[in-house]
Amino acid sequence: MDSFIEEAVVKRNRVFDEITYYFSWVVIVVSGLFAMMQFASLTAAVAGGTLLPTILMGAAAAAIAVGIYFYHDRFRMEYEYTFTNGALDFAQVFNNKRRKTLGSLNVRTVDAFGPVNGQAFKRYASMQGIRIDRWFLNREANLHYFYFQKNGSKRMIVMEPSEELTEAIRMYLQHGAYQE
């Protein structure tokens, strides 16, 4: 029997993120209009001797508009975990439009897995030279970690799986890898 579980993790309290998302659209439009007005007044700026400040202000407003346009989808970010027969895939989804693959993990090869509020997590997190990837959105959620070594470097992934996903992962772990 195949094991397949797919779940998306969304932020529980999204009010601030939604307000920021819509405010970013206002900033994009206002900055874009200001940049167009500055570039449209270049001929008057040449005659008035204010060419350089006009170009700089227009370029700064255009840079703000473009920068926020490419960044604003991150205010509606979620993580997606896909578990298939012991392989766990991680992805970041931005505004349900773009998807960024974060990586894959064979849970049979991990050294430790368990809840973040346990002693084992504190021991692994305090190790020298460990890289910790935080792929969760809700700090108050039931967070779990994976500890493993890859190419001689120590890594840890912190995520927020559901109870169903946690039980499926535990079925594929090595003996003794689950630590509380």
Which pLDDT tens digit goes with each residue over 122-149?
999 999 999 999 999 998 889 999 999 9
In whole angstroms, give the CA distance from residue 124 to residue 120. Answer: 6
In a domain, 60, yes or no: yes
In a domain, 173, yes or no: no
In a domain, 179, yes or no: no
Tokens of 145: 């970690």
In a domain, 46, yes or no: yes
Number of domains in the chain: 1
In a domain, 1, yes or no: no
In a domain, 29, yes or no: yes
pLDDT digits (tens, 9 = 90+) for 19-70: 999 999 999 999 999 999 998 888 777 777 778 888 899 999 999 999 999 9
Residue 79 phi, psi dihedral angles, 5° rounding = -110, 150
Q: Where are the alpha helices (DSSP H) in the chain?
A: 15-40, 42-48, 51-71, 119-125, 163-172
pLDDT at 96 over 70: yes
Tokens 């703000």 label which residue? 64
Q: Which domain holds residue 63?
A: 15-74
In a domain, 59, yes or no: yes
In a domain, 49, yes or no: yes
In whole angstroms, give the CA distance from residue 81 to residue 166. Answer: 11
> In 3-state terms, what secondary structure has residue 131?
strand
What pTM does this model have? 0.79
